[in-house]
Structure 1
Amino acid sequence: MPAGERRRLTTLVRPARRGDRRAERVTVRSFGPLGLAARQGNHHVPWTVRVLPPFTSRKHLPSRLARLRELDGRTSVLTRGEGTEFDSLRAYVPGDDTRSIDWRATARQSTVAVRTWRPERDRHILLVIDTGRTSAGRVGDVPRLDAAMDAALLLTALATRAGDRVNLLAYDRKIRTQVRGRAAGGDVLSTVVGALAPLEPELVETDARGLSKAALASAPHRSLIVLFTGLDAAPIEEGLLPVLPQLTKRHTVLVAAVADPHVETMTHARGSVDAVYDAAAGTQTQAQRRGTADQLRRHGVVVVDAAPADLAPAVADAYLALKAAGRL
């Protein structure tokens, strides 16, 4: 660049992964008039770009919102559901459940009246993301933590549209990030996305007692606690199971784990000695995960174990099922 001129250089940078990207030094080298000597200097330009999580499960949101509208009675007749909230009275039509007849209201009028219910609203959802060493394991091209984030974002979008309150907690041995007191509204999802963007797994064993204590502090009211963690036998049996009664005593707990689809492929391998050993190893791994999941279910926990591509819609379906049953 000739002396005394000003020029602008534009460089397109495409981030490959979420997180905070900070500026490097800008180096300027200037040459003398004869080109025999030069001097160089570095300039620090402070700026940061935050790359947000991709939210690939957004494509499943319209179908789950349609199911939510059906539960909420916007596209179908309000029905009776265990633990749901009373909505209104209407005239009896053939096919209605006779248990929903309101005999007092019927006695006051000339027609048979039935009660209608709607799914509970303004419930509390606490998303707890385990950022310990198990979340660093890669399934395909991304860590398990990223699949858990994607599922958390879909559940956040769905729960806020359902009128529920969503809180977020990321923990391993200390709180890594937290979103508290977010009422249903349009800014909840963007707040959760911004909190998850710089989160990275820590290569430490998760403190289950500390996680339980932090979850209880973040959920003073009865809540649905969705715990994104692994289903490895040792961390669950030695860490989570001893403190699980503290969570299930007052709250509904859902454990969501990322399964490796390669293990499923291994179980079908045949044709050589190595393939048979792979099949045995895959079958044993699946049996251990099923055993761990059964232990959690015996404590009243809802367990979702799915591949990364299927985890987000599976967690959303479990949430809708709990909401329909009035268990939130």
Structure 2
Amino acid sequence: MALTGRTALVAAVGAILVGLLLPSWTGLLAVELPLLLAILYDLVRAAPVNQLRFTRSGDTSVRLGEHASVDVVVANPSRRRCHLQLRDAWPPSSWPDGTSEAASRHRTEIAPGEQQLLTTVLRPTRRGDRTSERITARSTGPLGLAARQGSHSVPWTVRVLPAFNSRKHLPAKLARLRELDGRTSILTRGEGTEFDSLREYIPGDDTRSIDWRATARQSSVAVRTWRPERDRHILVVLDTGRTSAGRVGDAPRLDTAMDAALLLATLASRAGDRIDLLAYDRAPRATVKGRAAHEVLPAFVSAMAPIDPALVESDTRGLASTALRMARHQSLLVLLTGLEASPVENGILPVLPLLTQRHTVLVASIADPRIAEMAGARGDIDAVYEAAAATRTQLERKQTADRLRRHGVIVVDALPTELAPALADAYLTLKSTGRL
């Protein structure tokens, strides 16, 4: 049972009248007894909520920041008209702040034996699974004073996938890939690449690519063209430990790393390479392995969606051993992690010899734009101290990156908006130079 605001208003007005006109128990009883009878009448006449039938349908997945629609069909099998208020119990992160109350509530009237379709529109603000376990229904009586209330278990889950904002860079990267792959007039020569065809020499071509035998058989100089090798193996490793939990700009580091990984996965699958995924902190959080090219992107986004950063130090030895089991042959290992000095020195550097012995290792990290702003700040003594601290942080980060490079690691250190295209460019450079 539930009482409405109208009941409270009537009771308050009655109390005022009693206090002004008949301040006694008799006056109070004369006002409140009819109100009590009216409440009982409303409860008796209200349509029973336990007989309502609910059926859900709609979206089961949505990209972060986009809208998802979940439909609820409400059937009223009773013989009474149902004045209904519904609350669809989704988590608060299913909508932007301040909009959940309006978006999760519905008012409607359903005639006896009829049904109605109600739609809840979600706009999640976090990745992961958003689940509504129940719907709370309130059936108000004809006087609007009291209502019957009950909850129904009608579970539905919407998986919120990574936003993949970096897909806007994909056309430019694919154009460069087509150049490398020989689909345009620009073909490259490099160690470890596959022979493609012969064409006429153009001033500026590398003379080492001249095919002298073919030249002797024709009247013009012929050069060999090459295409990058296909079917290379790439393993993307997401560090989901505590360093991935920090926010840089408007998003956690982990979300930015996922965005970069998705662009790389899409590009590599289009290039004919095999790409797998490992998310790890103290244990594997997600793996994607052995998917066909058209399955890579859906598999990556589905595996990444429910992952949240773990507030623990990552076990880099366990990470390295798991990565080596997934990449048994020569591969490109892309590790998306932080460049903080302590985790790198105590975690990554000790296991690097195991990884670089057989594989090409690329470490991609997210730089904090706020640090760059602080380093350039001046004006008062506080700003100068902040600038000094930020400059020291930048220097330590550069020294850490240089140490990794001395061990043969390729380092990509970029701002959040630049990490995804920078990582894609590093991959394409490896393809063009024959290192992959």
**What band does the TM-score fall into relative to the shorter chain?**
over 0.9
Q: Distance in 2 between matches of 1:128 and 1:321?
A: 20
More displaced stretch, 70-79 vs 3-12: 3-12
More displaced stretch, 7-16 vs 125-134: 7-16
1:58 pairs with one of 158, 162, 167:
167
| Residue type at the aligned position of 1:324 | S
| Residue type at the aligned position of 1:132 | G
Q: Counterparts in 2 of 1:217-256, with a 5 A limit?
A: 217-256=325-364
| Residue type at the aligned position of 1:49 | V
Q: Distance in 2 between matches of 1:191 and 1:67?
A: 25
1:16 pairs with one of 125, 128, 131:
125
Q: Distance in 1 between matches of 2:429 and 2:200?
A: 28
Q: Distance in 2 between matches of 1:37 and 1:191?
A: 50
* Residue in 1 that maps onto 2:397: 289
Q: Distance in 2 between matches of 1:159 and 1:222?
A: 16
| Residue type at the aligned position of 2:165 | T
Q: Distance in 2 between matches of 1:218 and 1:161?
A: 21
Instruction: Report the CA distance between 1:101 and its aligned residue.
Output: 2.8
The answer as to 2:337 corresponding to 1:209 is no
* Residue in 2 that maps onto 1:41: 150
* Residue in 1 that maps onto 2:63: none
Q: Distance in 2 between matches of 1:61 and 1:109?
A: 41
Q: Distance in 2 between matches of 1:110 and 1:140?
A: 61
Higher-Rg member (1/2): 2
Deviations 1:111-153 (Å, cap 9, x if unpaired)?
Answer: 6543221111111111100000000001112100000000001
1:154 pairs with one of 240, 246, 263:
263
The change in CA–CA distance for 1:45 and 1:80 in structure 2 (over 3 A counts) is same
1:318 pairs with one of 401, 418, 426:
426
Cα contact 2:180–2:186 (8 A) shared by 1: no
Q: Distance in 2 between matches of 1:94 and 1:307?
A: 39
SS of the equivalent of 2:338 reads coil
The change in CA–CA distance for 1:265 and 1:95 in structure 2 (over 3 A counts) is closer
SS of the equivalent of 1:221 reads coil
Instruction: Report the CA distance between 1:251 and its aligned residue.
Output: 0.7
**Aligned residue pair count:** 327
Q: Distance in 1 between matches of 2:146 and 2:224?
A: 90
* Residue in 2 that maps onto 1:300: 408
The change in CA–CA distance for 1:16 and 1:77 in structure 2 (over 3 A counts) is closer
| Residue type at the aligned position of 2:123 | R
Normalising by structure 2, report the TM-score: 0.71
Q: Counterparts in 2 of 1:179-190, with a 5 A limit?
A: 179-183=288-292, 185-190=293-298
Q: Distance in 2 between matches of 1:32 and 1:92?
A: 89
SS of the equivalent of 1:96 reads coil
Name the structure, 1 or 2, with higher relative contact order (CA <8 Å, separation 6+).
1
Q: Distance in 2 between matches of 1:29 and 1:113?
A: 82
SS of the equivalent of 2:117 reads coil
Q: Distance in 1 between matches of 2:151 and 2:120?
A: 18
The answer as to 2:210 corresponding to 1:101 is yes
| Residue type at the aligned position of 1:60 | H
Q: Distance in 1 between matches of 2:147 and 2:250?
A: 45
Q: Counterparts in 2 of 1:164-175, with a 5 A limit?
A: 164-175=273-284
Instruction: Report the CA distance between 1:46 and its aligned residue.
Output: 1.8
Cα contact 2:374–2:390 (8 A) shared by 1: yes
Q: Distance in 2 between matches of 1:219 and 1:323?
A: 19
| Residue type at the aligned position of 2:134 | R
Between Structure 1 and Structure 2, the one with more strand by share is: 2
Cα contact 2:131–2:155 (8 A) shared by 1: yes
Q: Distance in 2 between matches of 1:134 and 1:53?
A: 19
* Residue in 2 that maps onto 1:327: 435
Unaligned runs of 5+ in 1: none
Q: Distance in 1 between matches of 2:410 and 2:385?
A: 32
The change in CA–CA distance for 1:14 and 1:86 in structure 2 (over 3 A counts) is same
More displaced stretch, 97-106 vs 43-52: 97-106
Root-mean-square deviation (CA, aligned residues, Å) is: 2.0
| Residue type at the aligned position of 1:51 | V
The change in CA–CA distance for 1:35 and 1:239 in structure 2 (over 3 A counts) is same
Unaligned runs of 5+ in 2: 1-46, 48-80, 83-111
The answer as to 2:246 corresponding to 1:119 is no
Instruction: Report the CA distance between 1:245 and its aligned residue.
Output: 0.9
Q: Distance in 2 between matches of 1:78 and 1:9?
A: 57
Normalising by structure 1, report the TM-score: 0.93
Q: Distance in 1 between matches of 2:269 and 2:144?
A: 64
